[in-house]
Chains A and B, each alone.
Chain A
Amino acid sequence: MKKQLVIIGGGPAGLAAAVAAYDAGVRDMVVIEREEKAGGILKQCIHNGFGLTRFKESMTGPEYAQRFLDEVQKRGIEVRTNTFVTALSPEKQVTCRSEEGIFTYEADAVILAMGCRERSKGALNIAGTRPAGLYSAGTAQKYVNIFGHLPGKKVVILGSGDIGLIMARRMTLEGAKVECVCEIMEHSSGLKRNIAQCLDDFGIPLYLEHTIVEIKGDERVEGVVIAKVDKEKKPVPGTEREIACDTVLFSVGLIPENELTKGAALPLDPRTKGCLVDGSRETDIPGIFACGNVLHVHDLVDFVSEEAEIAGRAAAEYILCGEREKQLVLTSAGENVAYVLPQRVEKGRDVKLYFRVRSAFRGAVIRVEAGSVQKAYKRIAVAPGEMDNVTLKAADLTDADNIRVSVLREG
């Protein structure tokens, strides 16, 4: 089956990319979604706070998703739900499996929008038993918000990522007692507003530099042993204490879901765990683009939509105008910067650079060095949980052979 554009994933990234590609002139396209309904993880994010940046209003996850679903529907874009992509080839063949069978699209362009998955408890090497009552935060969120089952009544949460924070509040509102949130780092990886609204407002303690060292209970969880960790993140002997609970939620990081990408032999950035892309979100294979959490884990869906629109427009340009010669310049992460995305920038075009800092502090200066051009931007505070960005004009890149972003302390 021929298709000009195949978009893999019908979450916020895939939907926004589809709308943008349509508006840029592409008609022959399909969005492949493995779940029963498009909308991705937003479907279970019934809390508010979505859309503040983009729409200047606070929406719930399903409301935010519906905005884009409405746009998709208005344009008559085909969304194939309950369809699972089993393989992607470097030649842009997309093999799918659904109740209709196994079939393959031969695509002119492909947009990867598969999102991410939660890092599992199993990867953490926690001692103890493997009873019922251990959930990743997102799984618990699905049980509560989609199915109306409350997993347990007495909860310990490991990891202060945003889903963990949201679930601390959610479980509390449904009548569970959240004993504490443990965070192995010296700072939370979640948004500041979530710490205030989900923990502080409910008196839930956040234990920084603490982790779970052991899980107790044979059939259902009966408790956990938590301990303080040292600078190397090793538990400090003598600081262990046991907390009785019947449920443990793990919010210990998100991993871009790049199994298909690996199948297409596309290299991944070890820092972002996503593809290497240029400003148009084009990967190493011309005509394959990536956007959203499959590319790098975002803090706000608003930025996912923005990035997906870049990819959607670029895919349309590729389809309608053909491949373009690009003169690329690499970006690099300087002092206190974890990564910069995109990893390369096209000369002659404006570009917005996204980055995350390594540690939190107040009074920061973002410095961008691009050849003879040097720029500085002030920030009141920076934190690893919050993605930041700066925009460079095409004129800023004329003599650059590398663009370096650093975040320094003021003064």
Chain B
Amino acid sequence: MKTIDVAVIGGGVVGALTARELRKYHIDVAVLEAADDVAAGASRANSGIVHAGFDAPVGSLKAKYNVLGNALMAGVCAELGVPFSRNGSLVVARGAEEEAQLQVLLERGRQNGVPDLEIIGRDRLLELEPHMADGVTAALHAPTGGIVCPYGLTIAAMGNAMDNGARLFTGFEVASAQQTKDGWLLRSATGQEIAARIVVNCAGAGAEYVASLFGDAFFHIGLRRGEYMLLDRAAGDFASHTVFSVPTKAGKGVLVTPTVDGNLLIGPTSVEDEVYSTAVRRPAFGEIKEKASWMLRDIPFGQVITSFAGERAYCDRHDFILEWGKENVFHAAGIESPGLTSSLAIAREIAGQLAKRLGAAENKDFSPFRRSMHWLKELSEAEKNAVIARDPAYGRIVCRCEEVSLGEIRDAIRQNPPARTLDGVKLRTRAGMGRCQSGFCQPNVFHELMKECGLRAEEVTKNGGNSYIITGGEL
């Protein structure tokens, strides 16, 4: 078996961007993902916030990579065609006690190197966000705060890495690691093997387990679940900034933010878990509504289109772990918030260290560009007509709510990283993410997957594993 240079364990945002950064050098890289698609864990279900950087303790890795990552985000999103918006964030305070905390955040942000922070009074705040709740008195305004689509970034980064020669193995759950003379031999739960000189652990919630396979046990990963409510695009302009509240005696608040796709997202709650779970608890709805009402009034909760939860890994050090463990094993673990913001800065750090260790030269053939996920929507009518004339499938609408064409569904199945499930198509195209929540388009996407991938009806899944759509058989 050929020994590759680097095996990245975990196809989340950090793993995908790391693979992409590694391909900027002559480094042979494979990403091993336990699930059936990338962005299967925290990268699928989080707030999608590009934090300004005033939250992290001064001098922490979080602070360093947050501020670096924030500055890099616009560039990488432009290269990868991922929607990104620097919509600015607001931390709102109610009364003098909370306003004092804004000062703490302001000072911390300045020390962390966050530009353009200012504290604003209620009048200015109302100009920025007209739906501010009555009790809100002031806010910290961070114009560099932004929003990005977290799974969109992950998919695009992985796709671009693959277009540049990286390989992706899905359904590869690393079950054992054996040290060899020139690196590590990794075996999957189903018996697949990969040999690599260097292993990068980007396994998110599974990072502690993966570390243990190499004999590393110097950190502990905890799980914290965040529950969200997502509102229809009709409510998307309810708030234009990402609105947080300062932590109070009543606990940590939630945030209210527009998403880059035009929805309104409210959450997350914070639930400590022993066992991985993405279930939404019954009290979550009430909690989210109450905490959101601390900040904004008249939130149109009647326009909820779905609710979901994401499980986030955090480390007992409460800072990122970015360090070498056993020989030639690098751990990128405990990448909790602001992990998404920091992801590219972290990936660059890892790639730089690995390139040095491998003595790898720069890859001059690397192309950083990937066509936007929403390229068709961005065209003028004349340009769209030219596209449809070349391939009529782009004229055929499959998802009515989000106006996604058959051509775009096929692209999602054919392009890197290829979609193999209904959720895979949904994350890449938005088909099924609209107000009808896939009621109309699901059977059509289902049949396109059958056709394109040569699957039988009972083999199509929602999200890999045993998530079969049809379990009652053929009639």
0 or 1 for each of A127-156: is its CB under 8 Å from B? (1 = yes)? 111111100101100111011111111000
Query: For the complex, is A367 an interface residue (Cβ under 8 Å from B)?
Result: no
CB atoms of A99 and B395 under 8 A apart = yes
Residue in A82, A143, A152, A246 whose CB lies within 8 Å of B443: A143
* B468–A132 CB distance below 8 A: yes
* 11 sample A-B contacts, Cβ–Cβ < 8 Å, listed by A number: A99-B393, A101-B384, A120-B305, A128-B280, A129-B279, A131-B467, A132-B463, A132-B468, A138-B439, A151-B472, A220-B466
Contact A120 B447 (CB under 8 A): no
- Bound-complex Cα distance A120 to B436 (A): 6
- Is B285 a contact of A125 with CB atoms below 8 Å? yes
A102 touches B279 (CB 8 A): no
Partner of A146, one of B392, B440, B443: B443
Q: With a CB–CB cut-off of 8 A, which chain A residues contact B249?
A: none
Those of A59-105 within 8 Å (CB) of chain B: 82, 84, 86, 97-102
- Pairwise interchain contact B472-A147, C-beta atoms closer than 8 A: no
Whether a CB of chain B sits under 8 angstroms from the CB of A174 is yes
What is the number of residues of chain B that contact chain A, defined by CB distance less than 8 Å? Answer: 53
A122 interface residue (CB < 8 Å to B)? yes
Interface of A (DSSP majority class): mixed
- Does residue A25 face the partner (Cβ distance < 8 Å to B)? no
B128 at the interface (CB under 8 A from A): no
With a cutoff of 8 Å between Cβ atoms, the chain B residues found around residue A149 in the complex are: 457, 469-470, 472-475
Q: Answer whether A148 and B474 are a contact pair too, CB < 8 Å, given A123-B305, A213-B282.
A: yes
| A296 interface contact, C-beta 8 A | no
A204 within 8 A of partner (CB): no
Residues of chain A contacted by B284 (CB below 8 angstroms):
127
Q: Which residues on A sit within 8 Å (CB–CB) of B100?
A: none
Q: How many residues on A have C-beta within 8 angstroms of the other chain's C-beta atoms?
A: 48
Q: Check A100/B282 contact, CB under 8 A, given A123-B304, A144-B475, A175-B472.
A: no
Tell me whether A125 and B400 are in contact (CB under 8 A). Answer: no
Given contacts A118-B439, A120-B437, A123-B304, contact A99 B472 (CB under 8 A): no
The reply to whether the CB of A360 lies closer than 8 angstroms to some CB of chain B is no
- Which of A34, A102, A139, A246 gathers the greatest number of chain B CB atoms within 10 Å? A139
Q: Does A358 contact B (CB under 8 A)?
A: no
A151 pairs with B308, CB closer than 8 A: no
- Does A386 count as interface, using CB distance less than 8 angstroms? no
Query: What per-residue 1/0 map shows which CB atoms of B437-473 lie under 8 Å from chain A?
Result: 1111011000100000000010001110111111111
Chain B nearest CB, measured from A118 CB (Å): 5
Closest beta carbon of chain B to A395's beta carbon, Å: 43
**CB closest residue in chain A, given B284:** A127
Q: What A residues does B463 contact at CB under 8 A? A: 132, 219
Q: Does A350 contact B (CB under 8 A)?
A: no
Q: Are A219 and B385 in contact (CB-based, < 8 A)?
A: no
Per the bound structure, the CA–CA distance linking A257 and B206 in Å amounts to 44
B389 at the interface (CB under 8 A from A): yes
Closest to B382 in A: A102
CA distance A153 to B306 in the complex (A): 26
Closest chain-B Cβ to A133's Cβ sits at a distance in Å of 7
Contact partners of A174 in chain B: CB under 8 A:
472, 475
* Chain A neighbourhood of B318, CB < 8 A: none
Contacts of B280 in A (CB 8 A): 127-129
Q: What separation, in Å, do the CA atoms of A123 and B235 have in the docked complex?
A: 14
**Residue contact B305 to A122, C-beta cutoff 8 Å:** yes
Separation of A176 and B230 alpha carbons in the complex (Å): 33
For A176, give its contact among B285, B307, B396, B472 (CB under 8 Å): B472
A121 at interface by CB-CB < 8 Å: yes
Q: Which of A101, A102, A138 has the most CB of B within 10 A?
A: A101
User: Which residues of B (215-261) have their CB < 8 Å from a CB of A?
Assistant: 229-230
Q: Is the CB of B447 within 8 A of A132?
A: no
Question: B439 contacts which of A86, A127, A139, A259 (Cβ < 8 Å)?
Answer: A139
Q: In the complex, which residues 143-182 of chain A have their Cβ closer than 8 Å to any Cβ of chain B?
A: 143-144, 146-153, 174-176
Decide: A121 and B467 in contact? CB cutoff 8 A. Answer: no
Residues in B neighbouring A133, C-beta threshold 8 A: 469, 471
Q: How far is the CA of A168 from the CA of B284 in the complex (A)?
A: 31
